[in-house]
Structure 1
């Protein structure tokens, strides 16, 4: 009788027991990132402010309150410059972002600011390798729009109606300079089951609803963070989120044996994030620090 080796895939229950390090740095990402050492981060997963599309907390330095789009992009680029510096060669920057549709009543005509494309151009100019993005079809958004108002943007059933925003982009940027060289143990502990691998490594995600906006105006669901952390980092890596919000990325990192650092400008969200982390990643210590930065980064 021939015995066959059984491949055991790690679970969050097992990896969540690993001793890992987690911290929140309260401050403006443009300045706070300067405290992070060069080439010390393996993966960045984040969702920046959607310009002024969402209403964020009234915190000094909040980029989501900048009215001029070009100025907003200029300030956002400072974060991507720092992201490039702190990533290890071969490290990934994953940006969850949607374009900004502006209503006719505000601009006199309907138009869409291509935020995802502008970020891609910024990152290319900074020195990132641009890779294929993932298109996230947010099922909940389409349902919510129909429930909350008309299903038409324009004259019903007539040409030239407006196409609604039902998707977000998961932009993939890689720092050049070589590929990751994880240890054999890291590779084994980070394996992804075939079924999940085939479902995750495709360019359109249509099986993942959006998250509740109860505590944050632009959250992404825990499962989205879980996919990205497992797809683009190894057990023991350091994962960074410079626009942390309510700690979704940090919770995922803790559950799957990664270390994490979150940066958040809003004291309210830092408080919510710390409470949520304690509740959803029990057994993991979370350090809270203040960067001491100002808004004129």
Structure 2
């Protein structure tokens, strides 16, 4: 099937399915109260929370105040989660401005989620080649996704995320099954290391480019995460028609990934300008003209014939 025809089929599928994609404008903590009053429930909650740093959407308050507010948000998210639902929490690190000490936020958030008796199913590493520049420590090149479930009976679409077996013709070499194919004909069960550029869910290191200046999905948001990153969680941890929530929706990557895969979604966002951009992206998706990285697209590698990949002659080292 050609790429254009495949894209057309995806667009038609979205149009045929009655799904809801909506933003709620306001503070996450307050708007979650409104959702609780309406007795809303969500199969998947996925987000990247503010890190308490110097950005317009982050207060940069004391860490104690930050903890108090984020704990309140998490307690409400747990109440909004279906019993068989999942929470995917994507975080990086908090750097103390005075001491320059690094606090891995996944460690911080693990404690907060465990207070609500959630179970950590995977700690996924999202690796990217272009990260934060640093001169007094190694440059950061990864963030993590914590996947929690509310109960032991949770949605996990294994067949939707199987990957091609490395040796599909491998057989049992002894015993009663000698000579029979040893693997699953649908593909192998992913390990807990995901490397997207080789075979989508093969390993738990997800090598997906972060959204920088030349990324086709780049908008005005300074810390936008890629649609591809969210899409993998949505496919594995929810079913078509389910509800997905992003309490810090930004420019709508979660909403787009949900709608693209026939899930209902709600996003809460404090800043109207990000909602405007997100709604524009959603409308572009509906028309089939939204530019985004396809699921599993290999990361670009420059060759030595390109000027940008060669060391300038004036470098003396």
Give the TM-score category using the shorter length. 0.7 to 0.9
Residue 191 of structure 1: how far off its partner (Å): 3.1
Secondary structure in 2 matching 1:211 = coil
Distance in 2, matches of 1:15 and 1:71, equals 45
Distance in 2, matches of 1:201 and 1:84, equals 29
- Name whichever structure is richer in helix by fraction: 1
- In the other structure, the counterpart of 1:51 is 52
Secondary structure in 1 matching 2:160 = coil
State the superposition RMSD in angstroms.
2.5
Residue 131 of structure 1: how far off its partner (Å): 2.2
Change over 3 Å in CA distance of 1:92–1:12 after alignment to 2:
farther
Higher alpha-carbon Rg: 2
Secondary structure in 2 matching 1:36 = helix
Secondary structure in 1 matching 2:287 = coil
Residue 177 of structure 1: how far off its partner (Å): 6.3
Distance in 1, matches of 2:44 and 2:237, equals 7
Listed as ranges, the matches of 1:182-197 within 5 Å are 191-192=160-161, 194-195=163-164
CA contact (8 A) 2:11 2:287 kept: no
- State the Cα deviation string for residues 153-191 of structure 1 (Å, max 9, x = none): 34xxxxxxx23321101111111263349xxxxx79x83
Whether 1:98 aligns to 2:85 is no
CA contact (8 A) 1:137 1:205 kept: yes
Change over 3 Å in CA distance of 1:12–1:87 after alignment to 2:
farther
- In the other structure, the counterpart of 2:122 is 132
Distance in 1, matches of 2:279 and 2:59, equals 24
Q: Identify the match of residue 62 of structure 2 among 46, 61, 68.
A: 68
Listed as ranges, the matches of 1:180-219 within 5 Å are 180=155, 191-192=160-161, 194-195=163-164, 198=190, 199-200=200-201, 202-206=203-207, 208-212=208-212, 214-219=219-224
Residue 227 of structure 1: how far off its partner (Å): 1.2
- In the other structure, the counterpart of 2:143 is 168
Q: Identify the match of residue 80 of structure 2 among 62, 65, 86.
A: 86
TM-score (normalised: structure 1): 0.73
Q: Identify the match of residue 253 of structure 1 among 237, 253, 258.
A: 258
Distance in 2, matches of 1:51 and 1:238, equals 28
Residue ranges of structure 1 left out of the alignment (5+ in a row)? 1-10, 58-63, 146-151, 155-161, 182-186, 284-297
Q: How many residues align?
A: 240
Distance in 2, matches of 1:192 and 1:14, equals 23
- State the Cα deviation string for residues 65-94 of structure 1 (Å, max 9, x = none): 142012101101111111100110121110
Residue 13 of structure 1: how far off its partner (Å): 4.1
TM-score (normalised: structure 2): 0.69
Whether 1:231 aligns to 2:236 is yes
CA contact (8 A) 1:133 1:170 kept: yes
Residue 214 of structure 1: how far off its partner (Å): 4.4
Residue 253 of structure 1: how far off its partner (Å): 0.8
Residue 45 of structure 1: how far off its partner (Å): 1.1
Residue 22 of structure 1: how far off its partner (Å): 1.4
- In the other structure, the counterpart of 2:109 is 119
- In the other structure, the counterpart of 1:16 is 14
CA contact (8 A) 2:155 2:238 kept: no
Distance in 1, matches of 2:237 and 2:202, equals 11
Secondary structure in 2 matching 1:16 = helix
Residue 112 of structure 1: how far off its partner (Å): 0.6
- In the other structure, the counterpart of 1:31 is 30
Residue 14 of structure 1: how far off its partner (Å): 5.5
Residue ranges of structure 2 left out of the alignment (5+ in a row)? 1-8, 165-186, 191-199, 213-217, 289-317
Whether 1:270 aligns to 2:275 is yes
